[in-house]
């Protein structure tokens, strides 16, 4: 593997996604939606928090911080779910066909690089761009909710964002890029991305996934991860943990295995498809 070529593809992909502004728009939505939810629909929750402050005599107790953390996690997880599971894979899908449309692929094909290096660069480049955007959104959302809702448990907030961004957003975006890599046009690639996203949503919310631990772990809907962090906001109330951190770790591992398998298939199939075309 030529690391100079790989770093060049990563840098190119990083810049291209930010210049297209689709990723910027999605990440701004990720940052703003939780704040908007609090402003428009959080009156009852904020009133409950104010009562807790009055009960504690204006002193920040563990009860107050658990309460603020609960509502911060609820509002954040809703936004993370929508953006990472339903939107990010779609805007990632046309990464490879876009190069053909812009004429970049012909230039890259003239260089002595492997299909594996090219696809790895495309995936890592998108991951880098999405990670920077998600980090910015996490900071903006955290500051906004800290001011609106109150001080919360930062470690739980960070854990939720990291697990959702990596385990749901980056893994599924990478799968979307690889699944659509062989498409000739961006429109067809976007169709693949939308289809994959719809299937992930069905897998995530479908009744056939309930009560099936194996499916919850291996499902591309990342049910184990999303369900755990939706419920995690209520752990301080004594709610039973039907899904554990072990399930989350297994779901992340399953996503990595899926990436490796799909990448291997794409590396073997893509050169044959382009030769026949």
- pLDDT tens track for 38-78: 999 888 888 888 888 878 787 777 788 888 999 999 999 98
- Write down the pLDDT at residue 119: 93
- Write down the pLDDT at residue 52: 84
Alpha-carbon span 217 to 102, nearest angstrom: 38
Alpha-carbon span 121 to 5, nearest angstrom: 8
Identify which of 141, 147, 167, 154 has the alpha carbon closest to the alpha carbon of residue 228.
167
- Write down the pLDDT at residue 276: 56
Q: Please give the structure tokens belonging to residue 35.
A: 């704040």
> Model-level pTM?
0.89
Q: Which domain holds residue 243?
A: 3-276
- Write down the pLDDT at residue 239: 66
Count of the separate structural domains present in the chain: 1
- Write down the pLDDT at residue 205: 80
Is 182:270 a contact under the CB 8 Å cutoff?
yes
A 10 A CB-CB count for 82 gives: 15
> Which parts of the chain have pLDDT scores under 70?
1, 102-112, 206-212, 235-240, 273-277
* 160-180 CB burial, b ≥16 within 10 A, e <16: bbebbbbbbbbbbbbbbbbbb
- Write down the pLDDT at residue 232: 75
- Write down the pLDDT at residue 208: 44
């Amino acid at each position: 593997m030529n690391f100079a070529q790989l770093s060049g593809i990563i840098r190119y992909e990083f810049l291209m996604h930010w210049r297209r502004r689709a990723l910027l728009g999605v990440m701004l939505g990720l940052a703003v939606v939780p704040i908007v939810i609090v402003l428009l629909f959080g009156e009852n929750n904020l009133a409950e928090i104010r009562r807790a402050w009055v009960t504690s005599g204006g002193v920040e107790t563990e009860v107050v911080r658990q309460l603020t953390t609960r509502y911060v996690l609820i509002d954040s997880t809703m936004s993370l779910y929508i953006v990472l599971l339903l939107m990010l894979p779609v805007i990632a899908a046309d990464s490879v066909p876009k190069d053909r449309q812009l004429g970049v692929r012909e230039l890259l094909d003239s260089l002595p690089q492997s299909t594996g290096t090219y696809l790895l660069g495309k995936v890592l480049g998108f991951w880098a761009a999405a990670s920077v955007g998600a980090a910015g959104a996490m900071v903006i959302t955290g500051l906004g909710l800290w001011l609106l809702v109150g001080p919360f448990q930062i470690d739980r907030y960070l854990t939720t964002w990291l697990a959702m961004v990596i385990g749901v957003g980056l893994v599924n975006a990478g799968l979307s890029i690889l699944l659509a890599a062989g498409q000739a046009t961006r429109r067809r690639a976007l169709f693949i991305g939308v289809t994959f996203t719809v299937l992930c949503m069905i897998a995530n919310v479908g009744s056939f996934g309930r009560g099936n631990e194996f499916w919850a772990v291996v499902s591309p809907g990342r049910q184990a991860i999303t369900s755990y962090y939706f419920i995690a906001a209520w752990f301080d109330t004594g709610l039973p943990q039907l899904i554990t951190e072990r399930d989350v770790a297994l779901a992340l591992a399953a996503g990595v295995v899926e990436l490796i398998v799909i990448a291997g298939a794409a590396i073997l199939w893509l050169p044959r498809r382009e030769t026949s075309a």
